[in-house]
Structure 1
């Protein structure tokens, strides 16, 4: 978490990477809390998966800082991170899309290979991590939604972020991991699959970061009054 704190402290609050970093810090704190309480079936395996998972995000941020090539899935966030017409919730959603859609399958693969285990050994704790993320998603959306009530389906921001599903991303991540696991003996095909995965997740991220018109200035109190 120290590296995430350093990233956040060096960026303005409205920077897109800073927005996602704050979200990820909250997830990481909750993950650490649950590791300490014995919530996972295999705490050591879950901790290793969490470390490898986070490492991919941290490596992408460092590559961007150095001006090196970054994975395609992260490029939209790095490119649009200071765009004045992209909202905080879009930044957070695009970061989650990149991290789950691309980084999670590769982290699962690396963890299985390092621990010499089959995918089934990680499935239970994969689902537990997914439940943790799902529980935090609603809170994240509520905190970052700056404008109309979430039930206002005609709002462009609500429509855009509603087109992306955490549940579908989780399911896709597990399927991609199983495909990569099955391709272990075919390195060229595995590398091609991983590249296509990276590019397709990046394309989704670019759509999530579509610049939008300014939202009406409406706080939580206004939304509560409108809901009554």
Structure 2
């Protein structure tokens, strides 16, 4: 379980917890240089958190906003916990933390690696945390879980426009184009949901659950390290 505290109340109080998460992300960003890979992902994540909070407040997307707010708080807590200086981060976060200031890695790579670690690893575990807190199976969160995709699709488009160099600056052989086309937020969330269902079925088998969780952490970290392959500035080398 994460360090975030779950209120046992309705939408208003839990939405306030989402606002608190946004505040913690802003505080994190003020202490980091802009080129830091954690800062790059942190800005992306703050944009996502603000978008989710806006929809929670107006009630135009989610059928059970209090439940989604709980999921959002627990989800964010896993990223913030990975940054805690007094504990070792999960292996899926180590590539980003180890390479956060590498001069050959481009900002969009940091954003993709952070999203991959957070969605593929943290999200299914946060779904399990939320189900435990609410006393419900994942199926009861399914509808709103997938409605989040609409919010994320808008944010992902903004992120790509902000971090992807213009097509005039990129050569067709630039490997950054291949990385961008190889990763999809929709596929990542589909995989996260499948992982959540699998881990839920293993909840009463602790040995199998631990093995599956460890495998998920390691596999996610492997993809993150591939996404953070230093590409340098190919235009400069030409």
| Fold shared, TM-score > 0.5 on shorter chain | yes
Q: Matched residues in 1 for 2:113 and 2:168: separation?
A: 21
Question: What are the Cα deviations for residues 40-72 of structure 1, in whole angstroms up to 9, with x where unaligned?
Answer: 11011000000000000010012xx34x31101
Alpha-carbon contact 1:16-1:80 (below 8 Å) kept: yes
| Between 138-147 and 168-177, the greater mean CA deviation after superposition | 138-147
Alpha-carbon contact 2:106-2:232 (below 8 Å) kept: no
1:87 aligns with 2:106: yes
Instruction: Evaluate the alpha carbon distance shift between residue 152 and residue 71 of structure 1 in structure 2; reply closer, same or farther with a 3 A threshold.
Output: same
What corresponds to 1:169 in structure 2? 188
Question: Which structure 1 residue ranges, 5 or more long, are not aligned?
Answer: 218-228
Deviation at 1:215, TM superposition (A): 4.7
> What's the secondary structure of 2:193's corresponding residue?
helix
Q: Matched residues in 1 for 2:127 and 2:25: separation?
A: 21
Instruction: Evaluate the alpha carbon distance shift between residue 37 and residue 86 of structure 1 in structure 2; reply closer, same or farther with a 3 A threshold.
Output: same
What corresponds to 2:41 in structure 1? 20
1:199 aligns with 2:221: no
What TM-score do you get using the length of structure 1 for normalisation?
Answer: 0.90
Structure 2 counterpart of 1:185, from 198, 204, 214: 204
What corresponds to 1:31 in structure 2? 52
Equivalent residue pairs, number: 214
* Structure 1 outlier segments of 4+, above 2 Å: 146-154
Q: Matched residues in 2 for 1:41 and 1:17: separation?
A: 32
Q: Matched residues in 1 for 2:112 and 2:79: separation?
A: 14
Alpha-carbon contact 1:23-1:92 (below 8 Å) kept: yes
Q: Matched residues in 1 for 2:49 and 2:67: separation?
A: 16
What corresponds to 2:18 in structure 1? none
What corresponds to 1:224 in structure 2? none
Alpha-carbon contact 1:20-1:91 (below 8 Å) kept: yes
Structure 1 counterpart of 2:31, from 10, 32, 44: 10
Q: Matched residues in 2 for 1:152 and 1:85: separation?
A: 17
Alpha-carbon contact 1:150-1:158 (below 8 Å) kept: no
Question: Which structure 2 residue ranges, 5 or more long, are not aligned?
Answer: 1-21
Q: Matched residues in 1 for 2:144 and 2:169: separation?
A: 31
Alpha-carbon contact 2:119-2:192 (below 8 Å) kept: yes
What corresponds to 1:212 in structure 2? 231
What TM-score do you get using the length of structure 2 for normalisation?
Answer: 0.86
> What's the secondary structure of 2:83's corresponding residue?
helix
Deviation at 1:216, TM superposition (A): 3.7
CA RMSD after TM alignment: 1.6
Question: What are the Cα deviations for residues 68-109 of structure 1, in whole angstroms up to 9, with x where unaligned?
Answer: 311011100001000000000000000000000000000001
